[in-house]
Structure 1
Amino acid sequence: MKQLFIHCSQNVTQSALLEDGRLTEFSVERMEGTSLIGNLYKGRVVNVLPGMQAAFVDIGLSKNAFLYVDDALHPHLDKQPKEKPAISDLLKPGDELLVQIMKEPLGGKGARVTTHFSIPGRWLVYMPSADYIGISKKIEQESERSRLKGLAEAIRIEGEGVILRTNAEGESREALEEDFNTLRQAWNNIIERSKQADAPSELHRDSGLVERMVRDVITPDTEQLIIDDEVSLKEAKAYLRQTAPALEEKVRLYSESQPLFDKYGIKEQLDRAFQPRIWLQSGGYLVWEQTEALTVIDVNTGKYTGSIDLEETVFRTNMEAADEVARLLRLRDVGGIIIVDFIDMETEEHRHQIAQRLELTIKRDRTKCQVVGWTRLGLMELTRKKARENAMNFFYETCASCKGKGKIYVR
């Protein structure tokens, strides 16, 4: 059972997704500065770095964007040169080009951009020059995959690319074609604007948080969408009325005096989930340490002593920890390399089951996440794509005294 809650205040919009009563996704967006992911710009190359195979592009933000050579080549691998060219052969200072933000500015780094353009809709993602068809891996039935591929071939023009999203499963040709044509027209509008615009300038901005969540999360198995703001409610209903009318009845306004996130226990779950030590229901716990590119999670039995033998106690703790790790990676929106130090297990079968459990649970994640496997030291390694700033950075600042170490200097 999925429930989506959207809380709107004067300066911030927050969304929370609950699955079977447990918080699994949390997003925040400031009113004055919406997400930059997916925005398209006409930029100007300001510097080319052959040693890094990259270029810096002025797109009008405070820091120049970073364009890697792979993101400057044709999006279809078969249409790329057999040997990767030097970035200086592709670009030079002063060149103007269209780019799209794929990773927001994080820390002291500027945004990462690409020329592999994509515009998401409710049922599909339109890629104007990718020249291939992709289908969500979460659509597993082969007959449905074949049907969707046939429909995509019929509605696209040669050279265009399209990815059929999970939501497209079971949808009619008419719905897919309407979505495709809308996105194609949006791209054509971008091209027309680029001809008149001076670099640097913004050409297209992706939808705000409310529309993105309705577009990407609301499906027939969603029980309800509850919003505490009338303007955002109308926005959500208008989008569903246009794309999925049958789902509009799932949207309702929250008007009680008690804050929305307090009423449904979301604030309490958030407070627990972002602690450095997270307790498991069994009595075990996780210790969570996070840096910019690496996250380390340590699993401990804690208060859980089991009732059979040590190996069974360890295995059950690790299985519960695997579920919680997968949930918290989504909720915290962790990116980069993740190392999980599960409690040592004696049997290879138990290690295999832990890996399988992780692979199964991360399938729910809308962000690309991969279970790499056990290292030689017995640690579990995962990777997860990072595109946006951590949601909790909106609410917390690094302590000026301890600089984030969690310690106070005593003379």
Structure 2
Amino acid sequence: MKQMIVHNEHNLMQMALLEEGKAVEFTAERTRERGLLGSFFKGRVVNVLPGMQAAFVDIGQKKNAFLYVDDVLHPHLEKQPKIKPSISELLRPGQEIIVQVLKEPVGSKGARVTTHYSLPGRWLVYMPVAGYVAVSKKIARESDRSRLKALGEQLCRDEEGLIIRTVSAEEQHEAIQTDLDTLRSQWLLIREKADSLPSPSLLHRDQSMIQRVIRDVYAPGSDEVITDSEAQAQVIRTLLEEICPGDEPRVRVHSGTESIFDAYGVQEQLNKDFARKVWLPGGGYIVIDHTEALTVIDVNTGKYTGSGGDSLEETVTETNMQAAVEIARLMRLRDIGGMIIVDFIDMEEAANRHEVAAALEQELRKDRTKAFVLGWTKLGLLELTRKKVREESTLPYVEACSSCHGTGKRYISPLH
């Protein structure tokens, strides 16, 4: 069972997703400062840089957006030219173009945008010009995959493409058809706005944070949403009635004097899980450090000495197994993206290293954001990547120290 705990305070909305009482996702959104991810813009090409095979597009934000050549070519690899053309053959300065935000602006970098458009719904993702149908790999039964693939191909028109989502495994034709019709209407409206509005202009913004999470995660019959706002509860009930017709919405309003995050133990969990050092159930701990290029995670035995008969190898492997499970959860909770290096405690046996990597991969399958375990380096470090689409969840709520500027060290002159 999953619980979505939604806390509203002034113009800030925070949401924690709990699985069996444990926080696995956290996100926050200022109601007046919605993110750009997934939004559509009518933009104007400012610069075309053949040397970088990229262009910069004015979408009306502080920084121009970055458009790479691969995001201009046809979305279907089979329909792309064998030899990649120069970006200058595809775009020219001053050209108006519809783009969708693929990655949020981060630091000094503007948003990354694409022309591989996609509109997510409850049961499927609609891609108006992709030209192919795909089925989620998380749908295990081949009979379901074959049925949904055939249904998707039957429903598509012209160059349309679809990705059938995991939650559609047992869904029927009518629900998927309704979802597709809604998304088609959204795309038509985007095209109509693009024809009438000047550039740069916002054409379509993705749903709010809570709407996206409910759309992607909520399972009728078992999951529930708990909020501290009656008005928001009514909005959520209406949304659930639309996406889960026939199911009684499981929505509750927290009315106690205690903060909703305190009442459900969320705040205590976040305080522990967003710390630099996070303790493991058996007494070991992990340390998470961020650099400009990557995130480094170090695993230590700490207080864990194993049970009486355990060898050193068994003790180390058990600590690493606990760490693998916790690292996958923390990556998801803290929305850590980019390159990640994990320094597990050294294991002598290759079978144990394989077991630890397999455990991490298994836990990462629960993550809605794509992550890949690349393997062990010659130095015994485990390499992995996780798609980075926005700044890490901690960044809006932490501030660099004015003395050390976030390094943890302060220069002291030998002259004093």
Scaled to the shorter chain, the TM-score interval is: over 0.9
Q: What is aligned with 1:383?
A: 385
Q: What is aligned with 2:97?
A: 97
Counterparts of 2:258 and 2:135 in 1: how far apart (Å)? 43
Map 1:261-280 to 2 at 5 A. 261-280=261-280
- Please say if residues 240 and 249 of structure 2, whose CA atoms lie closer than 8 Å, have aligned partners that are also in contact: no
Q: What is aligned with 2:141?
A: 141
Which of 376, 401, 404 aligns to 1:402? It is 404
Deviation at 1:221, TM superposition (A): 6.3
1:82 counterpart letter in structure 2 = K
2:233 counterpart letter in structure 1 = L
Counterparts of 1:135 and 1:182 in 2: how far apart (Å)? 20
Q: What is aligned with 1:351?
A: 353
Q: Secondary structure at the match of 1:329?
A: helix
Counterparts of 2:276 and 2:229 in 1: how far apart (Å)? 33
Deviation at 1:407, TM superposition (A): 3.2
The number of residue pairs the alignment matches comes to: 411
- Please say if residues 220 and 244 of structure 2, whose CA atoms lie closer than 8 Å, have aligned partners that are also in contact: no
- Please say if residues 2 and 221 of structure 1, whose CA atoms lie closer than 8 Å, have aligned partners that are also in contact: no
Which one is further off, 151-160 or 244-253? 244-253
Counterparts of 1:228 and 1:301 in 2: how far apart (Å)? 40
- Please say if residues 336 and 386 of structure 1, whose CA atoms lie closer than 8 Å, have aligned partners that are also in contact: yes
Q: What is aligned with 1:223?
A: 223
Q: What is aligned with 2:38?
A: 38
Q: Secondary structure at the match of 2:179?
A: helix
Counterparts of 2:127 and 2:2 in 1: how far apart (Å)? 30
Q: What is aligned with 1:290?
A: 290
2:84 counterpart letter in structure 1 = K
Deviation at 1:248, TM superposition (A): 4.1
- Please say if residues 369 and 384 of structure 1, whose CA atoms lie closer than 8 Å, have aligned partners that are also in contact: yes
Q: What is aligned with 1:190?
A: 190
Counterparts of 1:166 and 1:243 in 2: how far apart (Å)? 15
Counterparts of 1:140 and 1:408 in 2: how far apart (Å)? 53
Q: Secondary structure at the match of 2:51?
A: helix
Q: Secondary structure at the match of 1:149?
A: helix
Counterparts of 1:25 and 1:362 in 2: how far apart (Å)? 13
Q: What is aligned with 1:110?
A: 110
Q: What is aligned with 1:153?
A: 153
Q: Does 1:23 align with 2:47?
A: no
Counterparts of 2:82 and 2:359 in 1: how far apart (Å)? 39
Deviation at 1:158, TM superposition (A): 2.7
Q: Secondary structure at the match of 1:249?
A: coil
1:49 counterpart letter in structure 2 = L
- Please say if residues 297 and 342 of structure 2, whose CA atoms lie closer than 8 Å, have aligned partners that are also in contact: yes
Counterparts of 1:45 and 1:245 in 2: how far apart (Å)? 44
Counterparts of 1:368 and 1:222 in 2: how far apart (Å)? 25
2:388 counterpart letter in structure 1 = K
Q: Secondary structure at the match of 2:97?
A: strand
Deviation at 1:231, TM superposition (A): 2.3
Which one is further off, 210-219 or 66-75? 210-219
1:276 counterpart letter in structure 2 = R
Q: Secondary structure at the match of 1:56?
A: strand
Structure 1, unmatched stretches of 5+, are none
Deviation at 1:249, TM superposition (A): 2.5
TM-score normalised by structure 1 residue count: 0.98
Deviation at 1:377, TM superposition (A): 1.4
> Structure 1 stretches (4+) deviating beyond 6 angstroms?
none
Q: Does 1:341 align with 2:343?
A: yes
Structure 2, unmatched stretches of 5+, are none
Deviation at 1:223, TM superposition (A): 2.9
1:125 counterpart letter in structure 2 = V
Q: What is aligned with 1:259?
A: 259
Which one is further off, 220-229 or 258-267? 220-229
Deviation at 1:111, TM superposition (A): 0.2
Counterparts of 1:248 and 1:192 in 2: how far apart (Å)? 37
Counterparts of 1:292 and 1:187 in 2: how far apart (Å)? 37
Counterparts of 2:11 and 2:270 in 1: how far apart (Å)? 20
- The 3 A distance-change label for structure 1 pair 301 and 144 is same
- Please say if residues 55 and 68 of structure 2, whose CA atoms lie closer than 8 Å, have aligned partners that are also in contact: yes
Deviation at 1:222, TM superposition (A): 4.1
Deviation at 1:42, TM superposition (A): 0.4
What whole-Å deviation, never above 9, does each CA across 1:153-189 have from its counterpart, x for those lacking one?
1211131000111111111100000000000011011
Q: What is aligned with 1:315?
A: 317
Deviation at 1:46, TM superposition (A): 0.5
1:163 counterpart letter in structure 2 = I
Deviation at 1:20, TM superposition (A): 1.5
2:357 counterpart letter in structure 1 = A
Deviation at 1:348, TM superposition (A): 1.1
- Please say if residues 376 and 383 of structure 2, whose CA atoms lie closer than 8 Å, have aligned partners that are also in contact: yes
Which of 324, 327, 350 aligns to 2:326? It is 324
Map 1:162-173 to 2 at 5 A. 162-173=162-173
Counterparts of 1:202 and 1:17 in 2: how far apart (Å)? 30
Deviation at 1:378, TM superposition (A): 1.1
Q: Secondary structure at the match of 2:102?
A: strand
Counterparts of 1:292 and 1:215 in 2: how far apart (Å)? 33
- Please say if residues 278 and 286 of structure 2, whose CA atoms lie closer than 8 Å, have aligned partners that are also in contact: yes
TM-score normalised by structure 2 residue count: 0.97
2:293 counterpart letter in structure 1 = A
2:67 counterpart letter in structure 1 = L
Counterparts of 1:61 and 1:248 in 2: how far apart (Å)? 42
- The 3 A distance-change label for structure 1 pair 179 and 292 is farther
Which one is further off, 31-40 or 223-232? 223-232
Q: What is aligned with 2:201?
A: 201
Q: Secondary structure at the match of 1:15?
A: strand
Q: What is aligned with 1:73?
A: 73
Counterparts of 1:371 and 1:257 in 2: how far apart (Å)? 44
